[in-house]
Amino acid sequence: MLRPHQSLAEMALPGAGDPDAVVIGAALVGSGEVVGSAAVTPEAVHEPLASVVPPGRQWRLRSMATREDLRSGGIGAAVMGALVDHVASRGGGVLWCHARTPAVAFYEREGFATCGEAFDEEAIGPHILMWRTVGAKEETK
């Protein structure tokens, strides 16, 4: 769905073996077809973001995608909400990503801010560095 031109091996994410890493998917009721997904792994930020973000744990959001004909229907927001909950349940911190430039408005609605100028990701296209903070989830008794 995200990169149909790549093999599964080519899409393997660094840090995917970390015990705090997670992939979240959204599937259609009935068929079980995956129509939205994203992953988050613990990963330190890089410049120019390193000099901007507050101290604390850092998480990288990757491979965010929603099936094209179902975009703007809340699937991406639901996946993002589950990822933010995951990060919060592990102490929170800074959530950052290389966002595709056409998706900047979506990330801004989700509380992300841009950092620096747009750049080209090889074989993927134009992106921009974005980030937000995530508070730690309070334990319930």
* Number of domains into which the chain is organized: 1
Q: What is the pLDDT at residue 93?
A: 95
The pLDDT value given to residue 139 = 62
In a domain, 9, yes or no: no
Question: Residue 113's domain is classified under what CATH number?
Answer: 3.40.630.30
Look at residue 7 and tell me if it is in a domain.
no
Please tell me the predicted confidence (pLDDT) of residue 70.
82
Q: What is the pLDDT of residue 14?
A: 58
Q: Mean pLDDT, consecutive 10-residue segments, the chain of 141 residues?
A: 47 64 88 88 91 91 89 91 96 96 95 95 91 85 51
116, part of any domain: yes
**C-alpha angle 114/11/36, rounded to 5°?**
65
Domain-embedded: residue 14: no
pTM exceeds 0.95, yes or no: no
Domain presence at residue 10? no
Range of 35's domain?
22-134
